[in-house]
Structure 1
Amino acid sequence: MLDRDADLNTFQRKKSSSSLESKASIHTFFLRDDVSRMTTGRKQTITVRKKKMQKRLLSDTLKNLHRKFGSENSDNVSYCLFCACRLFWVVAPTDADRATCQCKTHENLQFMADTLYSHGIVVSNNIEEMVDRTVCATEMKACAYGDCVECRLTTHPTLKSATEEIVQVVQWSTERTGEEERETITLKNEVQSTESDLVSKFQENLFKFRKHLFNIRWQYSAYRQLRESLQANECLIHIDFSENYSCKYHNEIQSVHFGGSHQQATLHTGVLYTTEQTPLSFCSISSSRRHDPPAIWAHLEPVLEMVKTKCPKVERLHFYSDGPATQYKQKGNFYFLSTEPFRLGFKELTWNFFEASHGKGAPDGIGGTLKRSADRIVRLGEDVPDAITLFKKLKRLESTVELFFVSEEEVEAKTEVPALTPIKGTMRMHQVISVLPGHIKYRDISCFCQRQDGPLDCACFDLKVATVNGVPVTPPNQNEETPWRPAAVDSTHIGGWCVIKYDDDVYPGIIMDVEGDSIQVKCMHRNGVNKYLWPRPREDVSWYAEEQLICLIPEPKALNKRSERPT
């Protein structure tokens, strides 16, 4: 009897030890990057029993992951035990966890890096670390912009030579649709390529990515330093348009719910920083759906009047925003920022832009908070049919967010502006300075080195001067066969013909893609005097800086099957 009890105890101990090993292997499995991914948000955490962990999101259902675990491990682990051993911070993703508004430049390069890493060609798929290995100094503008002679031609090392094996790589691409191909859509496609071609394209895009990454880091660093060193006469205003709120009723008839009867309200959100008070959140609400410069400054006018009232010492304004070409980064906004603040009594102004697709910040949280509050009002039985009702009912909540209402008439009153001159290099600039009405200065990145005891317009980083209210530069009728150069090249020009300057020579080609201040062009090669043909067997598709674009041209006329002549 004693022997049997001893054997039973031994068996139970062995079973317990095996169970602990299984649990440890399950924990390790759940923490693998191919099973769950780490979230990046500072507030995306889970706390259980005073243990706070960063949330991880599962990449598949628990049943499929259980099958995957069973195929990789000899332990016969039941589905119940597998689910019970899931770590509390590893959770299934929800709709709110869906990653939106991602950067196309980051995503496409990351897809390439993942493919090369999976084929054992590169040692890592961390694109930021890969960039840092190819420059002398990560904090130097010359290295990032390709002006440094030491690292201008540096490429990322590979572990082995690339072959001609065909590989699949996912890429976001823009395509033209419609009968006359006037509409553009963005699709996520699988593209075939050889390993050697993929390595060449990756090295080329990694070089271009240096500048993009440097601008992201520099602009956020300048933003933090400015916030920490504000003076009594300065004010920092971080602004952004929130996604329009769709007004709704608590009870809706079918034709309203499924039709187009819902009105929308524009929300322009921001945070105000001064030395005299804690950060002040604000939001202006309007029934006007315009997001252009007249609307921007109609939304900003009550905010600036509030600054004059609450902070009378403020004479210098610093704006921070993202840089969409239809809203903040365009000649209309340059005109208003060099006139409106002076009219209200301010003496100096800077407008700073975050890098393209990387302008998220505190204003986004304000918009989300207000829209959740409005949805709560509707759930409790009240109607929010239009913008003015939305404003009144949010105002009634006595929120800490300062609310303003901007009527459509106030927006339309700002639309009368003089003829404006486009500024070459608009998409490259990240700081605009105005110390004189009607005049601006601008540069590629922000600089505040002399702000404490000197002027805002220091000469750092090739500061340029421009006048915004001069003779207008407008394109001619595109039906006429006349070359012209737009003030800024954007996605509307994809599919059009242009002339690119490279190594003191010019080449006609088709614009394939536009990202920030870079243009991808498929170029033709010279074949005699003023004659060009498509190169064979390999297309000449490369990225060029915006300043290399000489002009846009009509589609050339073909002389024969292989040659074409631009007119």
Structure 2
Amino acid sequence: MPLSNAERQRRYREKQKAKKPVAYLKKEAQRKRDAYIPSHLLTPDALKKRREELCKKSKRHYKKVKRVQNETIEVAGPSTSSTLIVKLPITNVKKGKQVRKTYRRSLRTAYKKNSELSDKNIELERKNKRLQKRIERLNKKKPSMMLTSTDAEDADISSMDSEAGISVNEMTPRSKTRTEVNSLKLDRKRAAQVRKKLLLSNTVLHSIQSSVKQKKKKGIKSIWSGLISKYRCSSALSRSLGINRKKVSALSKARKGKPMSEQVKHKVIEFLEREDNSTTLPGKKDTKTTNKETKQKHVLSDYVMNLYEKFKLENPTIHISRTVFYKLRPPHIILADFANRKTCLCSKHQNLALKIKGLKNGGLRCSKNPDILIKVFPTNKEILEQINMLESTAIKFTQWKRVPDGTKMRFKEIEETLPKADFCIKFDKDLAEFRDHVDRVHTQYSELKRLRENLPENEVLIWMDFAENFGCVSVEEVQSAYWNAAMVSLHTMVVYYPASKDNRIQSYVAASDVLSHNAVAVYTILNQMIGILVEENPNLKRIHYLSDSPTSQYRNKTIFQFIAMHEEEFGMPARWNYLESGHGKGPCDGLGASIKRAADNAVKQGKTSIQSADDFMEWARRARESGSKVKYIFYNQEDYDISEKFLSERITPIAVKGTFKIHYVIGNGINEVYSRVTSCYCNKCIVDISTSACEGYTLNRLVKDTATSGVVEVIEPLESSEEGETVEGRNVEEEEEELNKHTIELDKLSKDTWVAAMYERKWYIGQVVDIDENDKEVQVKFMTETGRYGESFKWPKEDDIIWIKLDNILCIILSPPNPSGKRIKTYTISVNELKKIEDLAKTPN
């Protein structure tokens, strides 16, 4: 019989093994290594087979080792008459590994057994609960029949239910299904099919019964009006549920009201986002994301109930309930909460709200909203009578006040207690001022709303504001870069065009590395902005400006002179509108926050690195290319210096009396401006105020210094009358004498004005930084003396800025100190100025 291939190969291997055993074994080992496949590359079946073979091989190896350990070795001694036999056990060098493997095997066995016992325990607990539930049902039906869990386990379930007399309706869906299937006596296969359908039906019915017991009429009506009615199963369902079919059919169907139109929804949201109804939060983190859409947060300036009444008055044709109006408020518009929220920026509102809170704590029943209070009590006499009727003799309240904190003055909430009589006098005065304040707020917003809606052709409205400086950051930066990061100044502007334009609104942002927020920066920005607007529309006739009321930026004599010379320099007249102090938030704040947030996100995502204003503009250029609708303007230090030089040479205005009360300025030639306490854009004033019959306009004539004349004519504000306007002139000496009185009027001061002031019985010179018209205080940046006799001064290494009372200002320095020196600049003042300051310092108050 011929040999097979396998047999021939086997004999050949045995022959090679006997002929060259070492070489054969080495070659065989190499072959196995080459043919070895790593475990992670094997299929699950092949891996399982390999592990089984390894397990068998290990068992054979352990048996062999154990067998060898039991064998003995006979050792022959010296040639004597007797033979010595010694039994020596052969030790296993791998005994330690064997012990560890045995331990692991035992541990696996214990874990496996523990898992099995846990599953068994869970099953027994489930069975125990099931039996306890059956006993509970039996006890409900027959209290006298008390079964233990052992008795229930031995008893038959079906017989237990039937013996107990439990009705079919009281069974669980599973028990009911089992009873019904058993009664049909079907075969095993058919019973399984019927059981599934019956179980589904009984479960649904049981759920409906539970809903009916809870009196959910809406659920009952929805069930009855669907497929049950279509397939005429109402009677069968009513019998199953135990509900009167006529009673259910008598229930009226749920009424569906008319859906709210998108136009009305949009009108309500637009109303709530309007500047007079809500305030835009300026922070870049003050956002709300809804449906993957991020919007800037708004805080309502009044309660929704009052805004609802205001909406109905403005839109009498729209019929909407208060509940629907409440529901249409979007998530990014936050409710107002006076005297309790950190977003209230108006000191008059907040301080009055805190006084009202003190009155409520004293027992007065009134609204905590100051706006509602003045509506409920039209006159101060009514509220004062209520206060006098209180039992308490003193009123305890808190107020926001500027108090000294080290070397600086800070706003803090101070607790005060006043006798009732003194409190009434103070409250009467504050309430009268608050009524005027609220009237100005409402008037400004209503007039500006009228201007935007009726903006004439070839005219534009520019709403502007300085945003918080953008801090340049990097994704990865060293410690020194973090503490010395550059800043970028941002000035946001929203331009409104007439209604005939396709795009009525356009946003602009002016970026710069010049961090000064003053009138010079405003002029530099507007100089470029006007050029852009004229390029877009060469027929531009008038520009309306709108801003908040900081004296260091917009409401000062420099801006008044800018408005006066606007037509001569740019070829068109201009008007400037100021919002009431504390109520200047608007779309510019949201624009600044969104721009800074977008730049931050671009840096965090690694798309760009912003280290300076130039880098910011480069990012802005790419953002414009990517589809951003915001336009950007850039100005540098050179542009700022040119504007500063121009203004210092050409504009030398005189401070206007009553500057803090002015909210409307209109240019009238090079040297004159009309001012008004509030804006007016009636049908005549919007065209030309000379043809208007509206009262309240004041003429302020400004004359700048010239090289050929030593006389400056200043026109004091005089109310216009029907007979005409009269003016009164004074020379330089008279004006200088008024400015240098020991008691300086607040209206005479503005930012960057040089003054001499007393502090701790010693006089210093410095520049005005800020003015607080409410507390009549001035923030001054002081210099230090360098000369022996106080003739020269320098700026200290660390800014020495403090708040002082207006009475502590000695005089206004008309001739600014002259700088000198290269490395360290020193400033000197004239001998006459020095003598005048020393004389005033010696004069008692």
TM-score normalized by the length of structure 1: 0.66
Give, in angstroms, the shift of residue 194 of structure 1: 4.0
C-alpha separation in 2, matches of 1:377 and 1:334: 40
Aligned counterpart in structure 2 of residue 467 of structure 1, from 690, 701, 711: 701
C-alpha separation in 2, matches of 1:465 and 1:92: 43
CA RMSD of aligned residues (A): 4.4
Does residue 553 of structure 2 align to residue 327 of structure 1? yes
* Counterpart position of 1:405: 634
Contact 1:335 1:468 in 2 (8 A): yes
The AA in structure 2 aligned to 1:107 is Q
* Counterpart position of 2:519: 293
* Counterpart position of 2:203: none
C-alpha separation in 2, matches of 1:368 and 1:246: 13
C-alpha separation in 1, matches of 2:333 and 2:460: 42
Distance 1:273 1:107, change over 3 A: same
C-alpha separation in 2, matches of 1:16 and 1:200: 61
Deviates more, 1:165-174 or 1:207-216: 165-174
C-alpha separation in 2, matches of 1:91 and 1:242: 21
* Counterpart position of 2:495: 272
C-alpha separation in 2, matches of 1:566 and 1:177: 28
Alignment of 1:377-456 (within 5 A): 377-381=602-606, 382-398=608-624, 399-416=628-645, 417=648, 418-449=651-682, 450-455=684-689
The AA in structure 2 aligned to 1:419 is T
C-alpha separation in 1, matches of 2:807 and 2:372: 37
Q: Tell me, what secondary structure is at the counterpart of 2:659?
A: coil
Distance 1:469 1:374, change over 3 A: farther
* Counterpart position of 2:124: none
Deviates more, 1:284-293 or 1:484-493: 484-493
C-alpha separation in 2, matches of 1:212 and 1:370: 32
Q: Tell me, what secondary structure is at the counterpart of 2:523?
A: helix
Aligned counterpart in structure 2 of residue 482 of structure 1, from 727, 735, 742: 742
Q: For 1:310-349, what per-residue CA distance to the aligned partner results, in whole angstroms no more than 9, with x for missing partners?
A: 1223211111100101110000111122224531221x21
Aligned counterpart in structure 2 of residue 172 of structure 1, from 375, 400, 404: 400
Give, in angstroms, the shift of residue 485 of structure 1: 2.9
* Counterpart position of 1:191: 416
Give, in angstroms, the shift of residue 454 of structure 1: 3.6
Count how many residue pairs are aligned between Structure 1 and Structure 2.
Answer: 431
Contact 2:663 2:679 in 1 (8 A): yes
Contact 1:298 1:411 in 2 (8 A): yes
C-alpha separation in 2, matches of 1:426 and 1:440: 12
Q: For 1:212-269, what per-residue CA distance to the aligned partner results, in whole angstroms no more than 9, with x for missing partners?
A: 1111110001110000001112111111111111112221101222x2x211111111
Unaligned runs of 5+ in 1: 18-38, 49-53, 58-87, 136-150, 498-512, 521-548, 556-564
State which structure, 1 or 2, has the greater radius of gyration over its C-alpha atoms. Answer: 2
Deviates more, 1:97-106 or 1:225-234: 97-106
C-alpha separation in 1, matches of 2:736 and 2:403: 24
Give, in angstroms, the shift of residue 299 of structure 1: 0.9
Distance 1:107 1:453, change over 3 A: closer
**Structure having the larger proportion of residues in helix:** 2
* Counterpart position of 1:26: none
Aligned counterpart in structure 2 of residue 117 of structure 1, from 338, 342, 360: 360
Give, in angstroms, the shift of residue 396 of structure 1: 0.9
Distance 1:335 1:490, change over 3 A: closer
Contact 1:443 1:463 in 2 (8 A): yes
**Structure having the larger proportion of residues in strand:** 1
Aligned counterpart in structure 2 of residue 4 of structure 1, from 133, 140, 164: 140
Give, in angstroms, the shift of residue 452 of structure 1: 4.9
The AA in structure 2 aligned to 1:406 is Y
C-alpha separation in 2, matches of 1:163 and 1:465: 52
Distance 1:207 1:390, change over 3 A: same
Contact 2:387 2:424 in 1 (8 A): no
Give, in angstroms, the shift of residue 201 of structure 1: 2.6
The AA in structure 2 aligned to 1:359 is G
Aligned counterpart in structure 1 of residue 485 of structure 2, from 242, 252, 262: 262
* Counterpart position of 1:99: 342
Contact 1:105 1:515 in 2 (8 A): no
Unaligned runs of 5+ in 2: 1-136, 142-169, 173-205, 216-276, 282-286, 292-296, 301-329, 705-711, 713-731, 760-769, 778-804, 812-842
Q: For 1:365-412, what per-residue CA distance to the aligned partner results, in whole angstroms no more than 9, with x for missing partners?
A: 111111011101210223100111101111211120111111111111
* Counterpart position of 1:61: none
Aligned counterpart in structure 2 of residue 206 of structure 1, from 412, 427, 431: 431
TM-score normalized by the length of structure 2: 0.45
Give, in angstroms, the shift of residue 130 of structure 1: 1.8
The AA in structure 1 aligned to 2:594 is T
The AA in structure 1 aligned to 2:533 is V
Distance 1:412 1:515, change over 3 A: closer
The AA in structure 1 aligned to 2:618 is K
Distance 1:235 1:156, change over 3 A: farther
Contact 1:172 1:189 in 2 (8 A): yes
Distance 1:312 1:387, change over 3 A: same
Contact 2:280 2:585 in 1 (8 A): no
Greater relative contact order structure (CA < 8 Å, 6+ sep)? 1
